[in-house]
Amino acid sequence: MKHSKMPKTISLSLIIFFLSVNAFAQNPLIMDQFTADPTARVFNGKLYVFPSHDIVPPKGEGRAEWFNMADYHVFSSEDLTNWTDHGKILDQKDVPWADPKAYSMWAPDAVSKNGKFYFYFPTRLKDAGDGEKGFSIGVAVADKPEGPYKPQPNHIQRVEGIDPNVFIDKDGQAYLYWSRGKIYGAKLKDNMLELDSEIKTFEEIPQKGHIEGPFVFERNGTYYMTYPHVANNTERLEYGTSDNPMGPFTHQGVIMDESASGTWTNHHSIVNYKDQWYLFYHDNDLSPDFDKNRSNRADSLFFEENGNIKKVIPTKRGVGITASTSEIQVDRYSAKSNYGAASVFLDRLDPFKGWKVVLNKPEAWVKYNKVDFGAEGSKNVKIRARSLTGGTVAVKLAGQDNKEISKVTIQKGGNWEVFSAPVKSEATAVQDLLLQLKSGAGVEVDWVQFEK
Ligand code: FUB
C-alpha cells in the first residue's frame, strides 16, 4: 500500500474519544476525528454509521506509517445533516481473544436480528503473525444499536481475514463475507456467532489485483456483491450481480473511480434510507499528506432501469438538507465556476478547522444545493469573510434566472469578520444557493447564514 507522511499537527486530544457530539453536514461527514470504512445501516428508522476509527497512536505504540485503530465509535443521523457521535462502543483491550496493543480494529459491520444487534469486527489475534493471516473476526452483541456491546469470548472459528460484512436475506438466512486478498463467504447460524456451511471463495470476482471490503445487498431480487479492487493503482469500487447471495457473481462495472487524492484505500457500504440510495465511502479529506488517516463521506447513488449501478462521482457537498439559519459551509459546494473559485483549508496546519472558498475573479461563483429556507422569508444574510482588497458578493437563488436576493459588501481588511446585508426578496422552501463575486478579488468566504 502507498505510504505517505504522518501529519505532525493533529493533537491526540482531538482524536482520542468523544461522547455525544453533534457533528456536521457535507463531506467529510465527521469533522472532529478521523473515520474510515463506513458501514451504514438503518435501525429503528434512523441511519447509523459504524466506521473504523483511525488515530495517531500513543508514542511508541502501534505501527508507524500504517493504519492504527484502537476502538470503534458509532454515529447516527435522522436527516443525514446532523450526526451524533454515541461514543466508544468497543476497545481493543476489551476483546478477550485479541492482541490488546495491535491497533488493528479494521473495517466493521453491524446487523440486527431477533431483537439483538451484532457488531462484527476484525482484529489481530494474540500472538498473531504478520499480514492478514493474523486477523480473525469477532462479534460483540448489544440490545441497542448504540451499545453497550459485549464481545464474545472467542472469534468466529474457521475465519481468517478482515472486513466482515453480514447480509441477511428475506428468508432470514444470514451470510458472512470477509476478505483476505480474495473474497470469502459462508452461511451463519441463527445465533449469528458461528459459520453454518463450508467457506466459499468467490473465484469468479476479478482476481488480478488486491480485492477486499465486500458489501452485499439485495434490490428487486438481484444480489449485489460490491468491493474495492485495485485494477490499476489504488482501490476503486466495483460490483457484480447474481440471483443468489452465494453467487456466482457476474462482474458488472465500477461504482466509484480511484480517488483523485491518491488515497490507496476506499471502503464503502450502500444503503437505502427514506427511499434514496446512498454510497458511504472514505477519502483523506482531513489528512491530505497521510492516507491512513481517513474521513467518511456519503453521496447519493442511483440505478439504471436495468438495475445497473450508475457511477457515483464524489462531491464535497455530500447529502442532506442544510438549514438556511445554520452556518452554510459554501466551501463544500455542489458546483463552481471553472475559473476564479477554489476551496482551500482555513489553516493548512490544522485541517480540522475546515475550509474556505476563495473567489478570485469577478463573476466567479460557487453553488451549494439544498438549503432549507423554511416557510418564512429571511431578513438578513451574514457572510464570514475577509479580503485584503475588499469586494462585493451577490447572494442568489440558483435556478433559471439565478435571482439575486442580496448583495453583501466585504470591507477591505486582513481579519475575519462577519458582514451582513438585508435580504431583498423572499426565499422560502428548499433552494440551491449561489454566491457570486461581483467586484474585487481575493474574497475569502468561510460561511453564509440567513437570519429570520
Ligand atoms: O481500514 C483498514 C483497512 O483499509 C480496511 O479493513 C480495508 O478495507 C481498507 O479500507
**Residue pair 445/331 in contact by the 8 Å Cβ criterion:** yes
Q: What is the pLDDT of residue 20?
A: 52
Which residue has a Cα nearest atom 9 of ligand 1?
265
The overall average pLDDT reported for the chain is 93
Grid-cell match 461504482, residue found: 255
Contacts of 332 (CB under 8 A, 6+ apart): 25, 26, 27, 316, 317, 318, 343, 355, 368
Whether 2 shows a pLDDT value over 70: the answer reads no
- For the CA of 267, the closest atom of ligand 1 is 10
Alpha helices in 112-246, H assignment, sequence order: none
Domains with residue ranges and CATH for the chain: 12-301 (2.115.10.20), 322-451 (2.60.120.260)
What is the Å distance from ligand 1's center to 321 Cα? Answer: 30
- For the CA of 282, the closest atom of ligand 1 is 10
- For the CA of 67, the closest atom of ligand 1 is 2
Q: What is the pLDDT of residue 132?
A: 63
What is the Å distance from ligand 1's center to 110 Cα? Answer: 16
pTM: 0.94
What is the Å distance from ligand 1's center to 307 Cα? Answer: 28
79 is catalytic: no
What is the Å distance from ligand 1's center to 272 Cα? Answer: 23
Contacts of 151 (CB under 8 A, 6+ apart): 90, 94, 95, 96, 138, 139, 140
Residue type, 301: L
Ligand 1 site residues, Cβ closer than 6 angstroms: 36-37, 52, 67, 106-107, 162-163, 212-213, 265, 267
Whether 18 shows a pLDDT value over 70: the answer reads no
Integer Cα distance of 367 and 157 in angstroms: 52
Per-residue pLDDT of 161-220, as tens digits, reads: 999 999 999 999 999 999 998 999 999 999 999 999 999 999 998 878 999 999 999 999
Which DSSP symbol is given to 243? S
Q: Which residue among 54, 212, 235, 299 is the active-site one?
A: 212
Mapped onto helix, strand or coil, the DSSP state of residue 330 is helix
203 is catalytic: no
How many Cα atoms sit within 13 Å of 195 on the Cβ side? 19
Contacts of 382 (CB under 8 A, 6+ apart): 418, 419, 420, 448, 449, 450, 451
**How far, in whole angstroms, is CA 127 from its chain's centroid?**
32
Mapped onto helix, strand or coil, the DSSP state of residue 92 is helix
Which residue has a Cα nearest atom 1 of ligand 1?
106
